[in-house]
Structure 1
Amino acid sequence: MATDAARITGKVQGRDIVLAGPLSKDEIRDTVWWWPDPGSKTAGEKESEAHEYDHSHKDVIATLGGYYEVPDSSRTSEAEELVDLVYTELHFEA
């Protein structure tokens, strides 16, 4: 019997996020933190970007274990823990 791929959803910076396994950790990170990181852009690139992080949104990923808030940067230890958790749930084999 075929099983459906694991799916994790969320609402991040006003955008609905769907993560369907299997995904690599980099693919997860790129999907969840889709807005540009201001530290990695030049001044000209920052001016031309359409979206920067907006703290007025509540960013949440819903997994089997519950709801997890998404940090504003993918470079924090909390972000790494969230990526690891999502990766584990997407690659769970019964």
Structure 2
Amino acid sequence: MATDARSARITGRVQGRDILLTGPVSKEEIRNRVWWWHAPGTATSEEREEDRRHEFDPSARDVINTLGGYYEVPADPSTPEADELVETVYAELRPDEHDVP
């Protein structure tokens, strides 16, 4: 079943911050948004202000909620597990590209 990419939404809680991904986005945008603490200079001024106000609980799990279920976010964005997560999120945010005619 095809889904309009503009209506695709994926949520998560990473480093104590709620994130929302809406499609279509590039793989690099996904990576920067999920691992924002590894990507200096990509946060907006509002996001930087929010980071200063919230306290992070290191015992909390970082997760992404996709149509396929919950996925734990690896701490290192360069691992194979991180690449698989980016691919999963990318596919779900661009469903029209993965439909079989």
TM bracket (short chain): 0.7 to 0.9
Equivalent position SS for 1:74: coil
What is the TM-score with the length of structure 2 in the denominator?
Answer: 0.70
Equivalent pair of 2:15/2:62 in contact (CA under 8 Å): yes
**Counterpart residue identity of residue 71, structure 1:** P
User: Kindly, what percent of the aligned residue pairs are identical?
Assistant: 60
| Partner secondary structure for residue 30 of structure 1 | helix
The aligned residue for residue 80 of structure 1 is 83
Q: CA offset at residue 36 of structure 1?
A: 2.8
Deviation at 1:54, TM superposition (A): 6.9
Name stretches of at least 5 consecutive residues in structure 2 with no aligned partner. 40-51
| CA apart distance, 1:63 | 0.3
Question: Stretches of 4+ moved more than 4 A in 1?
Answer: none
For structure 1, the residue ranges without an aligned partner over 5 or more in a row are 38-49
The 1-side partners of 2:94 and 2:76 are apart by: 24
Specify the code of the residue in structure 1 equivalent to 2:94.
H
CA distance in 2: counterparts of 1:29 and 1:35, whole angstroms: 11
Distance in 1, matches of 2:74 and 2:18, equals 16
In the superposition, the TM-score normalised over structure 1's length comes to 0.75
Distance 1:5 1:80, change over 3 A: same
Count of residues paired in the alignment: 78
Residue aligning to 2:67: 64
